[in-house]
């Protein structure tokens, strides 16, 4: 006889679903901010994520910015930006 599968409690979320939900909340919070927000991988000096306001101010689509880094949009040398970050 097979063991019954434990019933899930109402409202129970898997770890993956909790992570997805947290990411949606993070994205929503970033995108409603009136400030420019960008996340940068310091090792590669590439944008990891940017919010809608950053796209509007800089005049790029998110996909374009994610192929760039701060050195592509700021008037400072890469070495200086790396030091600042």
Question: Over the stretch 3-15, which tens digit does the pLDDT of each residue have?
Answer: 565 555 555 668 8
Q: Which of 50, 51, 46 is CA-nearest to residue 70?
A: 46
- pLDDT in 10s for each residue of the chain, 85 residues: 555 655 555 556 688 898 899 989 988 988 899 999 999 998 898 999 999 999 999 999 999 999 999 989 988 887 888 788 7
36 CB-contact burial (10 Å; exposed 0-12 / middle 13-18 / buried 19+)? middle
Q: Phi, psi at residue 47, to the nearest 5°?
A: -70, 135
Mention every residue, 6+ apart, whose C-beta is less than 8 A from residue 36.
50, 51, 53, 54, 57, 58
- Which stretches does DSSP call E strand in 1-85? 38-41, 46-50
């Amino acid at each position: 006889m097979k063991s019954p599968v434990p019933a899930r409690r109402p409202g129970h979320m898997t770890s993956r679903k909790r992570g997805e939900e947290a990411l949606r909340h993070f994205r929503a919070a970033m995108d409603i901010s009136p400030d420019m927000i960008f996340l940068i991988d310091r090792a590669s000096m590439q944008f990891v994520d940017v919010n809608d306001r950053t796209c509007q101010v800089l005049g790029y689509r998110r996909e374009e910015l994610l192929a760039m880094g701060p050195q592509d949009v700021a008037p400072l040398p890469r070495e200086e930006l790396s030091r600042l970050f």
